Amino acid sequence: MNKAIPVTEKIYWVGVNDRETDLFESIWPLPHGVAYNAYLILDQKVALIDTVKITYQDSFLDKIKELLGDKELDYLIVNHMEPDHSGAIKALRAVYPRLEIVGNKKTVDFLNGFYGIKDGIKVVKDGDQIELGQHKLSFYLTPMVHWPETMMTYEEKNKVLFSGDAFGGYAALNGSIFADQLDLAFYEEESRRYFSTIVAKYSPMVQKALSRLAGLDTKIIASTHGPVWKNNPEHIINRYDRWSSNQTEEGVVIVYGSMYGNTKVIAEAIAENLVKEGIAKICLYDAARTDLSYMLRDIWQYRGLIVGSCTYNTELFPPVAALISALLNRRIEQRVLGIFGSYSWSSGAVKALQSFYDNQNVKCELITPVIDAKYAPNGDVITQCEQLARNMAAVVKK
């Protein structure tokens, strides 16, 4: 998609697809790339909504120049200052020196800190408006979704919500920018993976933003990542509502860490017995061989979570410890939790997992028995696996 694409008659997508970056924020895998979306509104006054990552500024500027010709760019609306959306600001200002940058009070510090920009800035407050001609823009401050300066811009004529990173997702856009023309199941999976890694920690603020925006008649959602939701914006709104309020569906995620296979035996025994108890959706992950983002993605979908670890230097196996740290950071709630582990000469893993459950940031229901196997799992341990699976399935099915 090397050309600008119309979203409405006078609103254009001028974003870019990034299929070269391997890691988002230098940590989360991008096997299918990512899109940096920006939007241009043509009217008596011309407004651009956000920019793109600095490495793609040339193709981004080409799209804008082709649309504008000799016409001036009047406003740059900055919904979010993260560099993947603000990286082209300096280049944009160089091409259009009279450009006025529009942001809220907190945006000002970021503009100066990142790019040394101190002038030509219009500061807006929550509810302020800018008239472009036929199009009117209203600004809604949504702090900590997921940075302190984030805001959303609502265009009244076509009822478009330019939502920043909210309602976004991983994956480049394959042939179209519109969700109804793409593989919806795939992009929803990538949106949930994006939410669980980037936004989940700020779920209470997402809920506040959703409440704040509930009164808007939104026909199109245009975020800075992922598809444009033109015909059914309620779909992604409902998903974000579910994910940010910790609503789940029937299913169990089992994550284990195993050095020599004994903890793995317990994990597989639990999974086999969950199937016998009628649980069809089971995700079984070796924490050392699965990227954290995929485990978080599925934990944010399913009600049951069972975590197991061998004892490593009297502590949790490091890949399992990384998962536990991520779950604490995101304040996981409303899950049904199972715990298991194994050790040889010194226990410690199960104790650490129980401390995780006891943490005030964790609001989950613990299912017994808690399994702590010494040496190789024997018949008594396998019986405990059967009981844990039976008790977990009974609660998950509710």
What is the structure's pLDDT at 2? Answer: 85
39 and 15 inside one domain: yes
The domain containing residue 372 runs over which residues?
253-396
| pLDDT by position in tens, the chain (length 398) | 889 999 999 999 999 999 999 999 999 999 999 999 999 999 999 999 999 999 999 999 999 999 999 999 999 999 999 999 999 999 999 999 999 999 999 999 999 999 999 999 999 999 999 999 999 999 999 999 999 999 999 999 999 999 999 999 999 999 999 999 999 999 999 999 999 999 999 999 999 999 989 989 999 999 999 999 998 999 999 999 999 999 999 999 999 999 999 999 999 999 999 999 999 999 999 999 999 999 999 999 999 999 999 999 999 999 999 999 999 999 999 999 999 999 998 889 999 999 999 998 899 999 999 999 999 999 999 999 999 999 999 999 98
234 and 302 inside one domain: no
Q: Tell me the C-alpha distance between 341 and 353, whole Å.
A: 9
- Predicted TM-score (pTM) of the model is 0.95
What is the structure's pLDDT at 1? Answer: 81
165 and 269 inside one domain: no
141 and 206 inside one domain: yes
User: Of 201, 220, 244, which closes a domain?
Assistant: 244
222 and 269 inside one domain: no
234 and 327 inside one domain: no
316 and 291 inside one domain: yes
What is the structure's pLDDT at 113? Answer: 97
78 and 61 inside one domain: yes
Tell me the CATH number at 179. 3.60.15.10
Tell me the CATH number at 292. 3.40.50.360
Please give the tally of structural domains in the chain. Answer: 2
286 and 348 inside one domain: yes
What is the structure's pLDDT at 398? Answer: 86
What is the structure's pLDDT at 90? Answer: 97
265 and 316 inside one domain: yes
User: Of 215, 244, 273, which closes a domain?
Assistant: 244
198 and 279 inside one domain: no
223 and 140 inside one domain: yes
User: Of 244, 274, 307, which closes a domain?
Assistant: 244
